[in-house]
Chains A and B, each alone.
Chain A
Amino acid sequence: MADQEITLMKGNEAIAHAAIRCGCDGYFGYPITPQSEVLETLAEQKPWETTGMVVLQAESEVSSINMVYGGACTGKKVMTSSSSPGVSLMQEGISYMAGAELPALIVNVMRGGPGLGTIQPSQSDYFQACKGGGHGDYHLIVLAPASVQEMADFVDLAFTLAFRYRNPAMILADGAIGQMMEKVVLPPFKPRRTEEEIIKECPWATTGRIGGRKPNIITSLELRSEEMEVINLRIQAKYREIEAKEVRYEEFMLDDAEYAIVAFGSAARIAKKSIEIARAQGIKVGLLRPITLWPFPTNEVKALASRVKGILSLEINAGQMVEDIRLAVEGAVPVRHFGRLGGIIPDPDEVVEVLKSSF
């Protein structure tokens, strides 16, 4: 079947193809390295002539995210993509969407910062993605792909989770995953939902008062403190449910491990090679790869701490996820961090040296 064909493409291109195939209704974006291929691929594919998907290059990331906000208000499946500085610009809109409880997908193909930084890969937006990012008490559902295949697969997964919980979801990739070419099996085509389906599935959406129903109002504003607290508590209860039900992770060679590396995305790929090298030298080490960064696999990391002598958090940043690991481990075993900065990807051999010197 043509749908099952293995093709070779960049991670960014896989995002675009997967969006078209999973019935996405609209993409709104602005060029920024290293993710511009998402918009370029969509423009080249012209999905408006096939599935009817809207593709629009906005005047800024601020506008892109507010187009996504407007599109999400209407119950449609909408998304944007950007890279770190652009995602910083989007934070206000993301906060509004979290506050108004809207489903949408934001893809961040991270590059090194701070500021304009570099166009080379980084994982230094972990805090921004997982701890809110914008103003107010909120969370995004954050998925971290470690391959081009997962770039393709997580688009549909992100939309599914976003609509299940009426909450924005983020695919937190990095420049390496976005730019690398790998073989990928694209997901099968799924038609865009019809108007009737959207109105039935999203009775809250601003579709117009079809059938004379009461007006739907999408807002994150409530001036009465008592009411605003109720809204906040409801949103927090939703977050607790997501934490209970949606944690995803991968285990690699942990069965007999005496030490563990915790790493996500590109860093997890480095970790696997480091584990191979270390095991050849007689060091029993395995990997726990969080796939959902929020909700974080807290219980799994905690359980890991009872089985190993030490945990290394391998991140392409100055140490961000390591804080969540330490919170999970609660001091049971030593937790170390290793990372490279400025767009440098750690070398598997240097990771092995860090393992040896850390524990």
Chain B
Amino acid sequence: MTREEIIEKGQLVYKKPTLLNDTPMHYCPGCSHGVVHKLVSEVIEEMGMTDKTIAISPVGCAVFAYKYIDVDWQEAAHGRAPALASATKRLWPDRLVFTYQGDGDLACIGTAETIHALNRAENITIIFINNAIYGMTGGQMAPTTLLGMKTATCPYGREVKLHGYPLKITEIAATLDGTCYVTRQAVHTVAAINRAKKAIRKAFEYSMQGKGSNLVEIVSTCNSGWKMSPEKANKWMEENMFEFYHLGDLKDTGADK
């Protein structure tokens, strides 16, 4: 049996989601953003929400997310995506509204917007890419940078005396009465990717069922910023990031509401 015969007669088992268009993504080779873009696209398609989705992109590496996923997009000011999403969802309650933000955008400059949108129980989902660094601006220290981790603005490693502690905003979110589903996922293996997809699907469904706000953190790699190969970055993430940022659901009250 030749390869050509398998392609011709066989069953299609995997194909890039249609919603993710053919525009080449500007992300660095091996960047986690691409995988999450695929998952978001697959979930929107599978939920049949292509024509009812309004997404909000951040300032940071994902600023151009609007070029790749074929839904309506609003490009927010730095950190303000949850404010845009709050208004959008209240004005169009039957639409699927989500933000897609990085750690600098969400957990630093936009902390207030994040906490208050989540705690107002806005029926939105926040997709939070945490790679512990400012990728777009060239690898500076983020609120989520681990202690000891070297970045362009803590070149000798993050230390408490100089920079304070890394922020676990997802743990904070889980304590808020307004949140329904708060989870921390990763996309470094097939199993992790499948779990992350289920988490995004659940968050989007809760948003549409009016159960409150949802936060899906994806612990991610920034191999360029970390100055590692994509493979090594995944390994480094497993060995260092997961110890501080534990994977799994932190809160799920969807079934009770």
> What residues of chain A have their CB less than 8 Å away from a CB belonging to chain B?
25-26, 28, 54, 56, 58-60, 62-64, 66-71, 73-74, 76, 78, 92-93, 96, 100, 206-212, 214-221
In the bound complex, CA of A127 to CA of B73 (Å):
33
* Contacts A208-B51, A210-B51; A67 near B112 (Cβ below 8 A): no
Residues of A within 8 A of B52 (CB): 208-210
Which residue of chain A has the shortest Cβ distance to B78 in the bound complex?
A: A92
Q: Which residue of A26, A28, A73, A211 is within 8 Å of B51 (Cβ)?
A: A211
Q: Does B207 contact A (CB under 8 A)?
A: no
Q: A209 touching B75 by the CB < 8 A rule?
A: no
A26 and B74 contact, CB distance less than 8 A? no
Cα-based distance from A28 to B83 in the complex (angstroms): 10
A63 touches B80 (CB 8 A): yes
CA distance A200 to B14 in the complex (A): 38
Q: A69-B84, A208-B53 are in contact. List 14 more A-B contacts (CB 8 A).
A: A66-B113, A69-B74, A69-B83, A70-B85, A70-B86, A74-B54, A96-B77, A206-B74, A209-B71, A212-B51, A215-B71, A215-B73, A216-B73, A219-B73
- Say if the beta carbon of B227 comes within 8 Å of chain A: no
Does the CB pair B87–A67 fall under 8 Å?
A: yes
Least distance between B57 CB and chain A CB atoms (Å): 8
Interface window among B31-39, B88-96, B174-182, B237-245: B88-96
**In the complex, A66→B84 CA distance in Å?**
6
Can you list 21 A-B contacts with CB-CB less than 8 angstroms, sorted by A residue number?
A28-B87, A56-B87, A58-B83, A63-B80, A66-B80, A66-B83, A66-B84, A66-B113, A67-B83, A67-B86, A69-B83, A69-B84, A73-B88, A93-B77, A100-B75, A206-B72, A206-B73, A206-B74, A208-B72, A215-B73, A216-B73
CB contact between B87 and one of A78, A212, A214, A220 (< 8 Å): that residue: A78
Residue of B nearest to A53 (CB): B91
B91–A74 touching, CB < 8 Å: yes
Nearest neighbor of B69 in chain A, beta-carbon distance? A215
Instruction: Given A59-B116, A63-B113, decide whether A219 and B87 contact each other with a Cβ distance below 8 A.
Output: no
A64's nearest neighbour on chain B, judged by CB, is B83
By a CB distance below 8 angstroms, the chain A residues around B95 are 207-208
B75 contact from A68, A207, A217, Cβ within 8 A: A217
With A208-B54, A217-B66 as known contacts, state yes or no: A74 contacts B92, CB within 8 Å: yes
Contact of B63 with A by CB under 8 A? yes
The complex places the Cα of A74 from the Cα of B85 at a distance, in Å, of: 11
Asked if A54 and B92 make an inter-chain contact with CB atoms under 8 angstroms apart, the answer reads no
Do B87 and A68 touch (CB < 8 A)? yes
Chain B residues within CB distance 8 Å of chain A: 50-54, 56, 63, 66, 70-77, 80, 83-88, 90-92, 95, 112-113, 116
Chain B residues lying within 8 Å of A64, measured Cβ to Cβ, are 83
Do A221 and B72 touch across chains, with their CB atoms under 8 A apart?
no
Instruction: State whether A74 touches B116 (Cβ < 8 A).
Output: no
Q: In the complex, what residues of A have CB within 8 A of residue B74's CB?
A: 69-70, 73, 206, 218-219
CB neighbours (8 Å) of B53 from chain A are 208-209
**How distant is A259 from chain B, measured CB to nearest CB, in Å?**
47
Give the 4 A-B residue pairs with the shortest CB-CB distance, closest first: A70-B84, A219-B75, A66-B83, A66-B80
Q: What residue of chain B has the Cβ atom nearest to residue A71's Cβ?
A: B87
Is the contact region of chain A dominated by helix, strand, or loop, or is it mixed? mixed
Contact partners of A209 in chain B: CB under 8 A: 50-53, 70-72
Measured CA separation A206–B91 after assembly (Å): 12
A70–B83 CB distance below 8 A: yes
Q: Is B63 touching A221 in the complex (CB atoms < 8 A)? A: yes
Q: Distance (Å) between the CB of A28 and the closest chain B CB?
A: 6
Q: How far is the CA of A215 from the CA of B87 in the complex (A)?
A: 20
Smallest beta-carbon distance B53→chain A, Å:
6
- Chain A, residue nearest B109 (CB): A62
Complex interface: chain B residues within 8 A of A219 (CB): 66, 73-75
With A73-B84, A73-B88, A93-B80 as given contacts, are A207 and B72 in contact (CB-CB < 8 Å)?
Answer: yes
Nearest A-chain residue to B54, judged by Cβ: A206
How far in angstroms is the closest Cβ of chain B from A194? 13
Chain B residues with Cβ below 8 Å from A96 are 77
A92, B92: Cβ atoms under 8 Å? Answer: no
User: A217 touches which one: B50, B72, B113 (CB < 8 A)?
Assistant: B72
Provide the residues of chain A in CB contact with B113, threshold 8 Å: 59, 62-63, 66
CA distance A327 to B131 in the complex (A): 53
Which residue of chain A lies nearest to B88 when distances are taken between CB atoms in the complex? A70
> How far, in whole Å, are A357 and B88 apart by their CA atoms in the complex?
56
Chain A residues with Cβ below 8 Å from B56 are: 70
Q: Is the CB of B72 within 8 A of A70?
A: no
Whole-angstrom distance between the Cβ of B19 and the nearest chain A Cβ? 10
Enumerate chain A residues within 8 angstroms of B116, measured Cβ to Cβ. 58-59, 63
Known contacts A26-B91, A71-B88, A74-B54; A218 and B73 CB within 8 A of each other: yes
A209-B72, A217-B72 as given contacts; A26 in contact with B66, CB under 8 Å? no
How far is it, in angstroms, between the C-alpha of A25 and the C-alpha of B75 when the chains are bound?
21
Return chain B residues, CB-CB under 8 Å to A100: 75
A209 and B116 alpha carbons, distance in the complex (Å):
28
Other-chain contact of B83, A63, A207, A211, A217 (Cβ < 8 Å): A63
**Closest A residue by C-beta to B66:** A217
Nearest CB of B to A200, in Å: 16
State in angstroms the CA–CA spacing of A58 and B120 once bound together.
Answer: 10
